[in-house]
Amino acid sequence: MDFIDQIKQFSKRVESLKDSIKTEEATKTSIIMPFFAMLGFDVFNPQEFVPEFTADVGIKKGEKVDYAILMEGTPVILVEAKSITEKLERHDSQLFRYFGTTKAKFAILTNGIVYKFYTDLEEPNKMDSDPFLEINILELRDFQIVELKKFHKSSFDINEIINVASELKYTNEFKNFLNKELVNPSDELVKLIIGGIYSGLKRRLSLKGFDQ
């Protein structure tokens, strides 16, 4: 079974289970751990997939992130898991604190359905405030499956993912900017569009206050 079939099958499994999952622990064991197993990681090998990974923050000792994925003994991905019943807003601050204490280049915040992928494009060793990739396992799009496959253990390449993350970040920023302009266009955009349509129309609209 190829990865596309695996992820689609997993999506159906989550759909069938989601209403019966009520706690964080149930979310972890029934959805989140199987998700990373699907990505090729041995979730029962503490040398590769470490639960309750220590990530001390400053003078606070004993701080733990839910999971750390290790390669050659070094953490490469930190995972903060929440209950399927929780929204992920505001939980990224906790992961933000952990990120700078390890050598991990990626962090994932998830409630089993939504997965937010972060890295440190803006400042080295400091997690970006916005994810470069966000997927809903129940509403997968083809391009998201392609990007998700890059996190599979068999093809995991830090430099390649960083390059893709940079492209996705700025593409997302452009889309967000464009969407905002379409909903509430700025004066500059209105002038640009009017100027490109018809100069006579621009003069008439100017009398109505559009060109001030």
pLDDT per residue as tens digits for the range 81-96:
999 999 888 767 778 8
Is residue 204 very low, low, confident or very high in pLDDT (cuts 50, 70, 90)? Answer: low
Domain match, 152 and 162 both = no
Domain match, 76 and 120 both = yes
Domain match, 110 and 201 both = no
110: CATH:
3.90.1570
Domain match, 20 and 70 both = yes
The per-residue pLDDT for range 37-59, each reduced to its tens digit, is 999 999 999 999 999 998 765 55
Q: Which domain holds residue 167?
A: 157-212
Which residue, 118, 138, 156, sits at the end of a domain? 156
Domain match, 151 and 175 both = no
Domain match, 182 and 145 both = no
**Lateral strand order in the sheet of 64-71:** 49-54, 64-71, 74-81, 106-110, 114-118, 133-136
> pTM of the full predicted structure?
0.78
Distance (Å, rounded) from C-alpha 178 to C-alpha 196? 18
Number of domains, the chain? 2
Q: Are 14 and 137 within 8 A, CB to CB?
A: yes
Distance (Å, rounded) from C-alpha 38 to C-alpha 70? 16
